[in-house]
C-alpha cells in the first residue's frame, strides 16, 4: 500500500512542483486550488511547501517536504474534515483569515478568529508556516503550535498538547493513538479510542512524572530528542543527538499509524536515496506495542517482522481493510443461559495460547485449578463470554476483550465461548470423559451442602427452591423471547422482593415503571431495581425486551451496567448498578446553590458524549438511544456520568443508516424529523445531546415556566445571547473564560441544527468538546429547512 502511495506522490510532485509559488511573503487575497495554476506556497529555499497534497480519495492541506520525491507531510490542517474535494479553494482572505471553501457557503476556518487583521503570511525554511499581525513582526498563528503528528527541529510539545497518529499513510485524519505531554511532566502514549487515559491503557511513558507543568518535549537540528524542564534542565534524553547537522539534513519526530513514535533523518544531499528517510530511534522495537492496534476482540502478531492482526476464535473482522475497528462474532448467542443436565451444550470453548497482556475486566474468579475446570466454569455461566486461565486463577470476563497481546512462552490461556458446530481447534474442546468427573464432584458438593442446609435451616431450602424454580420459569415463559448477548443473571421475584425490602425505597419513576433501591445480602452492595407496571403489559414488555437486548450488547464506563433481570409470570424487573448521586437532572436543577462548577459540567458533557459515541459507532450493531435527557443520565460516586434507560432504543444493522419508526423520546428533546415523519438516524441523539449540553452549560431546564417569553425556551434564549454577544448571561456570576463559553455554545448550536445532515457526528462532537478540533461558526438552526 505504502509503495503505491509513494508512486502517487512521485508522479504528482514533479507535476505540481512548477505549480508552487516560492515567495518570502504571502499577502492577503491570495488563494490556492488543488488542480489550478498554484497548488502550494514554497519556502524561500524550496525545501518546504504549504498547500494541497493528494489523499487517496481527494486532497488535504498541510506542510510537507517539497524538495524530495517522497513528499513527506509534517503538518495537516482540519484533519476532521478530510478528504477535501478537487474543487476546494484555500484562501488567505483580505481580513487575514485562512479558510477553505469546497462549495459556496461550506467554509472551514483553519485559523479560527485568531488571525483577523493579520497582515501577511510566510512559509519558512524551518517548516513552520506563520501568519503575522498588523505590525508584520508578531506571530499570531503558526503550524508549529499546535503540532499534529510530527515535531520538526526547533518545535516543542508543551503541557496539555497531544500528537495524534493518522488513520493510515494515505489518510491523515486523526487515528487511534496519541502522545500526550501531561501537566505533571509525564510524556505518555495512550490509545485514542474514547477509553480513559489511565495506568491500564497506557503503553509507553517517559517516567518523568512529578516534574510539574513546565516540561516540554524538544527536537534539535542534530536529531537530539529530549525532555526539558523550565527551559533550563534536561530531565530525560530520548536520543543522544550528535547526528550530522547541515542545511541538507532534516530531522523529524512522528507518531506513526502503528502508535510508535520515531525519529527520522532525511539527507537531501544523498542522490542515491533521493532524500528518503532513515529511522534513527523508535519508542519501541515491538511493532505490536500500540494498544488497540487490532481493535476489540483482535490481537496483534508479527510475521516476517511485519505487524498484522487476527481475530479471536469465532470472530471475524468488522472491516478487513480497517483492523482498528476490531472483530465481531460470526455466530449467534441466542439462549446462552440454557443448560441441559447441568451442561451448556449450545457452546464449546476455543483457546488462544500465550496471552501476554489484556485489559483485565474480571467479574468473577471461581475455584478452578485446571484449564478444563476454568473452561467448564465459563461455559456454564451465562454472563461469561471469555475466561483467562493464568495457571493459578480462572478469570471470567465479558466481551469485548481489549489490548490483547500474544507472545511465545507466556503461560496465560484465553478460553472463548464459541459456536459448537465449527471445529475451531479440536484440542481445545472440553473432553467428554472429563465432564462426568466434574459433574460428579459438583453433585456431591451440592448434596452435602443441601444436607447441611436441611439440618440447620428449612427456610434456606425453600429459598433455594424458589431460585431454582424462577430460573425454570425464565426458560419456559411462552411470552418472553430470549435474545442475543444476554449476560446478566436471572433473579426470582421473591429474591428481588427481599433485596428491596418489599420495594420500600423508591428512587424514581417513569412512564413504564418505578425504580427501587435494594441491597444484596452478604455484600452490602446497593443496586437499583426497575419494576415495570403490570397495567402496561404490552408496552412494558416491549420496553423490557428492548432494554435487555441493548444493555446486553454494551460494555462501557459511561453506560449504566445491567446486573440481572426477572421475568416471572406478569412481573418484569431489571437489576442495575446503583448510582449514588442520582440523575443529572437532580444535580443541575434541584439545588441551584450547590451546582457543579464549570469544569465539572464540561467533564459530564464529555462523559455523555463518549457514551453516545460508543452506542453509535463502537457496538456490533448501531444503537440509537432515542431518549437522551438529564433524567436518563445518572451520576456515580466519582461524578462520572452514565447513560441509562434504553427502553426506547432502536437497533440498526451495520449496513443500515436510517429507519422509519413511531415517535419516541421526551418532548423538548425530540429532533424535528420525528414530527415530520421522516426517516431517523443517529442524528436524533445528537439533537437531544445538544439540548442537554445547553442545559448543562446554563444549569436550567430547556423550558422554564414563569420566565419571560424570550427566556422561557432555553435554545431560543441561548441563540439570542449568542447573537448579541451576551453569553455572560448564561453563566451569570461564574468566573468562566468567555471563549470557553462561546466554544461550548457553538457545539450546542451545531447539534440542534434542524437539518440532520448539518449536525456533526458524536465522534466530532467529542473531539470539539475535548478541544482537539476547531469549532467553526454554526448557522442559525432555524435558517435551514429540511430537504430530506
Cα dihedral 616, 622, 625, 630 in deg (nearest 10): -20
Residues linked to residue 704 through DSSP beta bridges, in sequence order = none
Q: Which helix (H) or strand (E) holds 549?
A: helix 537-552
Residue 521 pairs in a beta bridge with none
Q: Which three cell numbers stand for residue 365?
A: 474468579
How far, in Å, CA of 368 to CA of 544, rounded?
35
In order, the DSSP letters of 441-478 are: HHHHHHHHHHHHHHHH-HHHHHHHHHHHHHHHHHHH-T
Distances (CA, A) of 500 to 463, 483, 497, 594, 609: 16, 27, 5, 30, 32
Give the burial class of 199: count Cβ atoms within 10 A of its Cβ; 0-12 exposed, 13-18 middle, 19 or more buried.
Answer: exposed
Peptide bond into 615 cis (omega under 30): no
Instruction: Determine contact, residues 751/765, Cβ cutoff 8 Å.
Output: yes
Contacts of 757 (CB under 8 A, 6+ apart): 683, 788
Catalytic residues: 627
* Residues ≥6 apart with Cβ < 8 Å to 514: 503, 506, 508, 530, 531, 533
Specify the 3-state DSSP secondary structure of 461: helix
For residues 261, 263, 267, 272, the Cα torsion angle rounded to the nearest 10 degrees is: -50
68 Cβ partners below 8 Å, 6+ apart?
Answer: 266, 268, 274, 275, 276
Q: Which residues contact 746 (CB under 8 A, 6 or more apart)?
A: 775, 776, 777, 778
CA distance 243 to 387: 50
Residue 206: HSE in the Cβ half-sphere, 13 Å Cα cutoff: 27
- Compute the radius of gyration of the chain from its Cα atoms: 29
Using CA atoms, how far apart are residues 770 and 603, in angstroms rounded to an integer?
Answer: 9
Nearest C-alpha neighbor of 86 from the set 55, 64, 110 = 55
**530 among annotated binding-site residues:** yes
How far, rounded to the nearest angstrom, does the alpha carbon of residue 517 sit from its chain's CA centroid?
31
Is 298 in contact with 311 (CB distance < 8 Å)?
Answer: yes
Tabulate helix, strand, coil % of the chain (nearest 5): 25, 30, 45
d(CA 42, CA 392) in angstroms, rounded, equals: 63
Preceding amide of 134 cis, omega within 30: no
The most distant pair of C-alpha atoms in the chain lies apart, rounded to whole Å, by 96
**Number of residues assigned to the chain:** 788
CB neighbours (10 Å) of residue 427?
A: 8
Q: How close are the terminal C-alpha atoms of the chain, in Å?
A: 38
The answer to whether 365 touches 357, Cβ cutoff 8 Å, is no
Cα-Cα-Cα-Cα dihedral sign, residues 628, 630, 632, 635: positive
CA atoms of 463 and 457, how far apart (whole Å): 10
Beta strands 261-267 and 277-282, pairing class? antiparallel
Give the residue ranges of the annotated binding site for ATP. 530
For the annotated binding site, the residues are 530
Amino acid at each position: 500500500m505504502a509503495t503505491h502511495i509513494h508512486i502517487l506522490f512521485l508522479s504528482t510532485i514533479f507535476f505540481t512542483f512548477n505549480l508552487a509559488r516560492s515567495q518570502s511573503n504571502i499577502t492577503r487575497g491570495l488563494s490556492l486550488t488543488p488542480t489550478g495554476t498554484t497548488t502550494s506556497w514554497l519556502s524561500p529555499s524550496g525545501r518546504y511547501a504549504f498547500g494541497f497534497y493528494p489523499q487517496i480519495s481527494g486532497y488535504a492541506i498541510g506542510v510537507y517536504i517539497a524538495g524530495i520525491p517522497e513528499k513527506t507531510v509534517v503538518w495537516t490542517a482540519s484533519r476532521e474534515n478530510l478528504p477535501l474535494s478537487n474543487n476546494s479553494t484555500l484562501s488567505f482572505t483580505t481580513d487575514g483569515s485562512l479558510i477553505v471553501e469546497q462549495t459556496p457557503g461550506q467554509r472551514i476556518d483553519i485559523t479560527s478568529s485568531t488571525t483577523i487583521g493579520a497582515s501577511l503570511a510566510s512559509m519558512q525554511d524551518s517548516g513552520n508556516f506563520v501568519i503575522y499581525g498588523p505590525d508584520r513582526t508578531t506571530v499570531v498563528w503558526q503550524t508549529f503550535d499546535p503540532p499534529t503528528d510530527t515535531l520538526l527541529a526547533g518545535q516543542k510539545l508543551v503541557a496539555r498538547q497531544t500528537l495524534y497518529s493518522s488513520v493510515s499513510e494515505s489518510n491523515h485524519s486523526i487515528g487511534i493513538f496519541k502522545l500526550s505531554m501531561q501537566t505533571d511532566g509525564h510524556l505518555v502514549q495512550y490509545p485514542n479510542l474514547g477509553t480513559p487515559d489511565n495506568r491500564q491503557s497506557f503503553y509507553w511513558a517517559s517516567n518523568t512524572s512529578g516534574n510539574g507543568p513546565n516540561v516540554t518535549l524538544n527536537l534539535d537540528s542534530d536529531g537530539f530528542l529530549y525532555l526539558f524542564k523550565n527551559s533550563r534542565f534536561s530531565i530525560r534524553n530520548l536520543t543522544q543527538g550528535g547526528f550530522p547537522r547541515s542545511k541538507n539534513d532534516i530531522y523529524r519526530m512522528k507518531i506513526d499509524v502503528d502508535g510508535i513514535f520515531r525519529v527520522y533523518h532525511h539527507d537531501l544531499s544523498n542522490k542515491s536515496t533521493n532524500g528518503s528517510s532513515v529511522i534513527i530511534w523508535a519508542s519501541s522495537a515491538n511493532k505490536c506495542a500500540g494498544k488497540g492496534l487490532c481493535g476489540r476482540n483482535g490481537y496483534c502478531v508479527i510475521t516476517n517482522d511485519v505487524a498484522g492482526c487476527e481475530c479471536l476464535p469465532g470472530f471475524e473482522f468488522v472491516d478487513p481493510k480497517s483492523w482498528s475497528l476490531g472483530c465481531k462474532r460470526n455466530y449467534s448467542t441466542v439462549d446462552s443461559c440454557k443448560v441441559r443436565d447441568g451442561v451448556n451444550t449450545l457452546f464449546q470453548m476455543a483457546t488462544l495460547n500465550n496471552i501476554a497482556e489484556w485489559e483485565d475486566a474480571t467479574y468473577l474468579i471461581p475455584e478452578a485449578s485446571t484449564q478444563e475446570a476454568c473452561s467448564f466454569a465459563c461455559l456454564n455461566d451465562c454472563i461469561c463470554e471469555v475466561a483467562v486461565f493464568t495457571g493459578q486463577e480462572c478469570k471470567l470476563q465479558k466481551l469485548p476483550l481489549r489490548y490483547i497481546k500474544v507472545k511465545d512462552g507466556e503461560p496465560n490461556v484465553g478460553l472463548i465461548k464459541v459456536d459448537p458446530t465449527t471445529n475451531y481447534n479440536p484440542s481445545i474442546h472440553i473432553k467428554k470423559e472429563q465432564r462426568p468427573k466434574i459433574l460428579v464432584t459438583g453433585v456431591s458438593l451440592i448434596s452435602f451442602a443441601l444436607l447441611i442446609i436441611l439440618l440447620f435451616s428449612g427456610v434456606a431450602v425453600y429459598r433455594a427452591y424458589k431460585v431454582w424454580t424462577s430460573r425454570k420459569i425464565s426458560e419456559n415463559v411462552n411470552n418472553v423471547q430470549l435474545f442475543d448477548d444476554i449476560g446478566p443473571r436471572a433473579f426470582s421475584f421473591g429474591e428481588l422482593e427481599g433485596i428491596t425490602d418489599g420495594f420500600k425505597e423508591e428512587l424514581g419513576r417513569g412512564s413504564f415503571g418505578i425504580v427501587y433501591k435494594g441491597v444484596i445480602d452478604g455484600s452490602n452492595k446497593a443496586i437499583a431495581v426497575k419494576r415495570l407496571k403490570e397495567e402496561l403489559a404490552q408496552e412494558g414488555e416491549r420496553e423490557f425486551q428492548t432494554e435487555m437486548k441493548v444493555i446486553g450488547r454494551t460494555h462501557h464506563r459511561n453506560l449504566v451496567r445491567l446486573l440481572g433481570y426477572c421475568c416471572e409470570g406478569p412481573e418484569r424487573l431489571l437489576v442495575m448498578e446503583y448510582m449514588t448521586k442520582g440523575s443529572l437532572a437532580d444535580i443541575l436543577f434541584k439545588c441551584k446553590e450547590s451546582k457543579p462548577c464549570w469544569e465539572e459540567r464540561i467533564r459530564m458533557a464529555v462523559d455523555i458524549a463518549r457514551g453516545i459515541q460508543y452506542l453509535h459507532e463502537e457496538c456490533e450493531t448501531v444503537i440509537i438511544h432515542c431518549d437522551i435527557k438529564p433524567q436518563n443520565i445518572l451520576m456515580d460516586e466519582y461524578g462520572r456520568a452514565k447513560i441509562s434507560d434504553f427502553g426506547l432504543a432502536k437497533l440498526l444493522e451495520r449496513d443500515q443508516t436510517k429507519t422509519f419508526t413511531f415517535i419516541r423520546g421526551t418532548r423538548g428533546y425530540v429532533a424535528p424529523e420525528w414530527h415530520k415523519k421522516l426517516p431517523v438516524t443517529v442524528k436524533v441523539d445528537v439533537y437531544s445531546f445538544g439540548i442537554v449540553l445547553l442545559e448543562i452549560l446554563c444549569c436550567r431546564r430547556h423550558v422554564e415556566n414563569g420566565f419571560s417569553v424570550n427566556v422561557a425556551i432555553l435554545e431560543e434564549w441561548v441563540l439570542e445571547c449568542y447573537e448579541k454577544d451576551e453569553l455572560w448571561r448564561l453563566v451569570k456570576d461564574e468566573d468562566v473564560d468567555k471563549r470557553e463559553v462561546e466554544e461550548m455554545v457553538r457545539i450546542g448550536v451545531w447539534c440542534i441544527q434542524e437539518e440532520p445532515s448539518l449536525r456533526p457526528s458524536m465522534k466530532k462532537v467529542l473531539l470539539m468538546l475535548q478541544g482537539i478540533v476547531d469549532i467553526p461558526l454554526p448557522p442559525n438552526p432555524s435558517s435551514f429547512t429540511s430537504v430530506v
